[in-house]
Chain A
C-alpha cells in the first residue's frame, strides 16, 4: 500500500501529472472573481470564504478524471484489482494520494488567495481548518465518481455532473464554517457536521467506489 501511495504521488508530481494544474486553476478562478463582481473590498470580504471554497472544490474536480483513467488504460488497474490488497484499500490509497497532491496544496494556498480577496484576519485559521477537514471528503467522493465513469469515453464531463451534486453537503457546511469564522461567530456546529460528513465519506465511500470499479473491470 505504501508502495502504491509512493507510485501515485510520483506519477502526480512528475511531468504530465498535472500537479500544478489544479493550483493554477484555483489561482485563476480567484483572480477572475473580482473582475466579475467588481473590486469593491467590502463585497469581496463578504464573499471571500464562499469563493475560496468553490474554487478549491472546482480545482479538486479538475484532476479527478485522471484518478483511475490512466491506470485503467494501461491495464495496471486490473493488476491492482487482482493484487493481494483489497480493492477498497486501493481506492483509499488513491484517494489519499489525490488529497495529498490537490486537497492539501489547495488548503495551504487558500490563505494566500484569501489575502487577495480581503479576507478578515480572524477568518484565515478557520478557512484553513475547514478546508483541511473538508477536502478529504471531496477527494473520496470524487474517487467514487471517477470509479463510476472510468471506462467511458466522455467520462470527464459526466463525472462533473455526477460528483458536483454529491459535493453539496460538504460545500454547505464547509463554506458556512469558513464564513462564520471570518465574521467572528462560533464555528463549532458547521465544523463538527462537516467533519462528520468527511469522516463518514472516508469510511464508507471506498466500498461504493470499489463496487463500481469491480463492475467496470468485469
Chain B
C-alpha cells in the first residue's frame, strides 16, 4: 500500500480523505494546506502518491502539481476535483496528473483510483 501526501485547504476534506485512505490500508505521510506547502512536503517526504486539491490559497493545485513534477517527473499526483472544474483538471492532466477523483468523494472510487495509479 502507498505512502500518501494529502493536499487540501480544508481540514474537513483532509480528515475525510485520510479516513478513506486509512480504510484502504494506505499510510498518510503528510498533509498540506496549500500549494507551497505541498511542494515543500513532497520534497521532504517523497510520498508514493499525492492527492491534490485544485482550488487552494497561495498556490493552486495546478501550479503545485507543476512544481512537484519539476522536482520529480515520475511523481504520481491525483487531482481532487469538484463539479465544474473539468477545464482545470484537463490542464492538470496535460501537466502530468495521473488521475482524478471527484468530490463528493466515494470511498471505493477514491481507493480504486489510488490503487490503479500506484500500480501503473
- Whether A and B are associated in the same complex: the answer reads no
